[in-house]
Amino acid sequence: MDIVILAVLIAVVALGAISGLVVSSRKKKQLPPAPPSSPSVTAPPAEPHVGEEAEPSTAQPRRTIEEVELPTAPAPAEESAPVVEPETAVEAAVPAAPEIEIPEPTAGRLVRLRARLSRSQNSLGKGLLTLLSREHLDEDTWEEIEDTLLVADVGVTPTQELVERLRERVKVLGTRTPEELRTLLREELLTLIGTEADRSVHTEPGVGVNGEEKPGVVMVVGVNGVGKTTTTGKLARVLVADGKSVVLGAADTFRAAAADQLQTWGERVGARTVRGPEAGDPASIAFDAVKEGIAENADVVLVDTAGRLHTKTGLMDELGKVKRVLEKHGSVDEVLLVLDATTGQNGLVQARVFAEVVDITGIVLTKLDGTAKGGIVVAVQRELGVPVKLVGLGEGADDLAPFEPEAFVDALIGD
């Protein structure tokens, strides 16, 4: 009996041991595999660069650990390649230690670029001179003069004013030598454009809200496509050429490539660009840009903004907010409206809308090189009551010139 009990006990113990082994080995099998050691599988994509991050996150399918362990899966090195690729691609897109360029001096740029105004020169300046030189200045000729001005986008009221004054002065002139006519037209065009306005871009450092020295702050606004970002970049060069240090704020988060574009402009002249995530809050980027400007002791902060005209309310909300947030640091010294000179009346409509949304202090007219409508200078100043301060005369880096009425008129009618 004792022997039987002993045998049963031994059998039970032996069975227990065997089943324990089985359980423990099952448990081992059920244990989750060690956490993946390769961060490339689970790590979030690298810090996004505007316009580039969509690719890695969509192109790279999520893989489970089982899939990674599948014997048929590609070797780890190959497998991790597509994951790290976007990161290296992003890095490669950022130019390594770019050489700092020295922009051309700004004085006399308009004189240098005067040939670019050739289309306006021929149709507006020379056209007017030819008409005024006619032997008989009859009504038809005056009408043609009027048409020439209107076609060149001078605007109805300024055109009437100019024609009236020209008629008066030509009457008392008697004989009209080409020289006299040129002088007369020069004077009248200058009166129309105005020589008294302050056309300097205000970028003087001021005092911040905490009593610290604050850089001059310039907001650049305008509808997308007019050349706003390019102009911001070119303006950075103008300022650097004038011996100032610049920080750029890439607050146009609407257009995907705008921040990259601005950063490239900045890097060329050694200006830092403050940027945020795509579709990020433009106001917070603008705020950070001035903060950076203060920290760097920069002279000027230029803030590029987005110009969506889909609704006036949307635009008002966004630009108004950017300006208010910028003012948390202190004054905004200049709000430059960028307009495309080739868009004529459309440009004037844009000007009107922007002026309702934010206080414009200066106008930048771009693409004057590609149009016969140089008269827009007069029309837009009249429309907004603020001066044209800069003109864009080409796609080259130093093709943005301070606007000088004398040089402009001389270019139109020839010396």
Note the residues at the interface with ligand GDP (CB under 6 A): 222, 224-230, 255, 258, 366-367, 369-370, 392-395, 399
Residue 308 is labelled as binding a ligand: yes
> DSSP string covering 275-329, please?
---TT--HHHHHHHHHHHHHHHT-SEEEEEE----S-HHHHHHHHHHHHHHHTTT
If one counts every other C-beta atom within 10 angstroms of the C-beta of residue 102, the result is 9
Strands of 246-251's sheet in order across: 272-274, 246-251, 300-305, 216-221, 334-340, 362-366, 388-392, 400-402
| Chain center to CA of 43 | 33
Residue 220 is labelled as binding a ligand: no
Identity of the residue, 51 or 370, whose beta carbon is nearer to ligand GDP in the bound complex: 370
Instruction: Give, to the nearest 10 degrees, the angle between helix 345-357 and helix 376-384.
Output: 30
* Cα 334–Cα 340–Cα 346 angle in degrees, nearest 5: 105
Residue 224 is labelled as binding a ligand: yes
Identity of the residue, 188 or 398, whose beta carbon is nearer to ligand GDP in the bound complex: 398
> What does DSSP assign to residue 197?
S
Identity of the residue, 203 or 230, whose beta carbon is nearer to ligand GDP in the bound complex: 230
Q: What own/partner pairs with CB < 8 Å and gap ≥ 24 does 284-287 have?
A: 284/325, 285/249, 285/250, 285/251, 285/253, 286/219, 286/249, 286/251, 286/322, 286/325, 286/326, 287/325, 287/326, 287/328, 287/329
| Chain center to CA of 48 | 19
Q: Residue 226 Cβ, how far from ligand GDP at the closest point, in Å?
A: 5
Identity of the residue, 227 or 375, whose beta carbon is nearer to ligand GDP in the bound complex: 227
Identity of the residue, 203 or 229, whose beta carbon is nearer to ligand GDP in the bound complex: 229
Residue 211 is labelled as binding a ligand: no
Identity of the residue, 117 or 294, whose beta carbon is nearer to ligand GDP in the bound complex: 117
Identity of the residue, 223 or 348, whose beta carbon is nearer to ligand GDP in the bound complex: 223
Identity of the residue, 227 or 266, whose beta carbon is nearer to ligand GDP in the bound complex: 227
Q: Residue 195 Cβ, how far from ligand GDP at the closest point, in Å?
A: 23
Q: Which residues contact 295 (CB under 8 A, 6 or more apart)?
A: none
Residue 159 is labelled as binding a ligand: no
Residue 228 is labelled as binding a ligand: yes
If one counts every other C-beta atom within 10 angstroms of the C-beta of residue 8, the result is 10
Residue 206 is labelled as binding a ligand: no
Separation CA 256–CA 224 (nearest Å):
12
Q: Residue 231 Cβ, how far from ligand GDP at the closest point, in Å?
A: 6
If one counts every other C-beta atom within 10 angstroms of the C-beta of residue 170, the result is 16
Q: Residue 233 Cβ, how far from ligand GDP at the closest point, in Å?
A: 8
Is the Cβ–Cβ distance between 215 and 294 less than 8 Å? Answer: yes
Q: Residue 257 Cβ, how far from ligand GDP at the closest point, in Å?
A: 8
Q: Residue 364 Cβ, how far from ligand GDP at the closest point, in Å?
A: 9
Residue 368 is labelled as binding a ligand: yes
Residue 260 is labelled as binding a ligand: no
Q: Residue 236 Cβ, how far from ligand GDP at the closest point, in Å?
A: 13
Q: Residue 234 Cβ, how far from ligand GDP at the closest point, in Å?
A: 8
Residue 127 is labelled as binding a ligand: no
Residue number of the CB atom closest to ligand GDP: 392
Q: Which residues are annotated as a binding site?
A: 222-229, 304-308, 366-369
Q: Which residues are annotated as a binding site for GTP?
A: 222-229, 304-308, 366-369
